[in-house]
Structure 1
Amino acid sequence: MTLYDDAVLVLKEYGDQEELRQGYLAHLAEHPDGMYKPCEAGHLTSSALVIDPSRGRVLLTLHKKLGMWLQMGGHCEPDDATVEAAALREATEESGITGLTLLPGGPVRLDRHPIPAPCHWHLDVQYAALAPVDAVAEISEESLDLRWFPYEEVAGVADTSVVRLVEATLARLA
């Protein structure tokens, strides 16, 4: 199975955000190269919110290019076997935390957002990753900062996309 096939399967099985989900599937049907950065019409990305439920906090990165507090994530790579694997790879690379495990049940949310040219859209498939109890985060080259935030502080530092991802993740944990 290719990464493209996996993405289509993941999206077909995702049971929420019907209009957005159908938009992702239509995009992939129209753009066979829609998994990767060179697709200027937009491409899938994969991300994961790193969460530490035992301490009631999430790890956010201050994105170097965007200057915004975001979850870990980025572009799918040809070596990624699945969209889920891409999210876990990105979360591990950007957080420096080994031993992350994705929350079961597939993606937590989808988020489509504009980005600067030459590409026009990121179609993000968002997961949540549980941090080990003894997790120590290390800043990557892609970040200006990396910080743990209590759940209740996220809305004060991040945009609505991240806030909705935290809410959806906490709902899944409940």
Structure 2
Amino acid sequence: MPIADAEIAAAVAAYLDRYPAEKALLAEPIELLARGSNFASRRNFDLHVTVGALLTRGGEEILLVGHRAYGIPLQPGGHLEPSDTTLMGAAVRELAEETGIDPTTVTTASATPVYVEFGRVPARPQKDEPEHFHLDLGYAFTTTGDVGSLQESEVTSAAWYRLDEAERLVGSRVWRACNPSVRIG
């Protein structure tokens, strides 16, 4: 059974309990989530959920991928699949698919999201997708593993970055993933 809107709303609520100052930034998706509308489906163009995996190794580096569609470095992640049963599980699945990381080497660092971002996605006619909105929920993990075979249809590269360099590239979500005092759960 696909991930229910109630689970998505609960994850956002847990995040906002920790970061209440971000409630105004997330007002629109909060309103949509309250109405319910199968936000796990990537064919819901009012809003659908994506997940990200902030994976650190040794407390000193974090894994970023070259995102093929956007042409920039980002944390691994992507759309929910009908077979996903939890948001965190979907993040681990995306991480393993895109980077070849062995999921048995991945340990959860935060039980709820360390970032939630809402943003417009340009139309992608080649995928029959009009302009739409993503609500991206990011989870923190640690590993002792390394990159394996890449999903080249989605990513162009995968590399470990020093935390300061990664934060410069992708923002404060890196700090939240790496700092145990701000992790949730």
Q: TM-score, normalised by structure 2?
A: 0.81
1:137 aligned partner: 147
* Structure 2 residue 47 is the aligned partner of structure 1 residue 35: no
Q: How does 1:1-174 map to 2 (within 5 A)?
A: 3-4=3-4, 5-14=6-15, 15=17, 16=19, 17-52=22-57, 54=58, 56-98=60-102, 99=104, 100-117=106-123, 118-131=130-143, 133=144, 135-138=145-148, 139-141=150-152, 142-156=154-168, 158=169, 162-172=170-180
Q: Distance in 2 between matches of 1:39 and 1:31?
A: 11
Give the fraction of aligned pairs with identical amino acids, expressed as a percent: 29
Shift of 1:49: 0.9
8 A Cα contact 1:151 1:166, kept in partner: yes
Residues 107-132 of structure 1: per-residue CA shift (max 9 Å, x gap): 1011112211214211101111211x
Q: Deviations over 1:22-52 (max 9, x none)?
A: 5333222335132221111221111111111
Instruction: Structure 1: give runs of 5+ residues left out of the alignment.
Output: none
Q: Deviations over 1:129-152 (max 9, x none)?
A: 211x2x120222211111111112
Aligned residue-pair number? 167
- For residues 5-33 of structure 1, give each alpha carbon's deviation from its aligned partner in whole angstroms, at most 9, with x where no partner exists: 22122223322232345533322233513
Q: Which amino acid aligns with 1:105?
A: A
User: What letter corresponds to residue 13 of structure 1 in structure 2?
Assistant: A
User: Could you tell which deviates more after superposition, 103-112 or 10-19?
Assistant: 10-19
Taking a change above 3 Å as real, the CA distance of residues 87 and 20 of structure 1, as seen in their structure-2 partners, is farther
The verdict on how the C-alpha distance between 1:164 and 1:83 changes in structure 2, with shifts beyond 3 A counting, is same
CA positional deviation for 1:101: 2.0
Aligned-CA RMSD value? 2.0
Runs of 4+ in 1 over 4 A off after TM superposition: none
- In structure 1, give the amino acid aligned to 2:179: A
* Aligned-residue offset at 1:155: 4.2
Q: SS at the partner of 2:118?
A: strand
Q: Secondary structure at the match of 1:28?
A: helix
Secondary structure, counterpart of 2:172 in structure 1: helix
Whole-angstrom distance in 2 between the partners of 1:104 and 1:120: 29
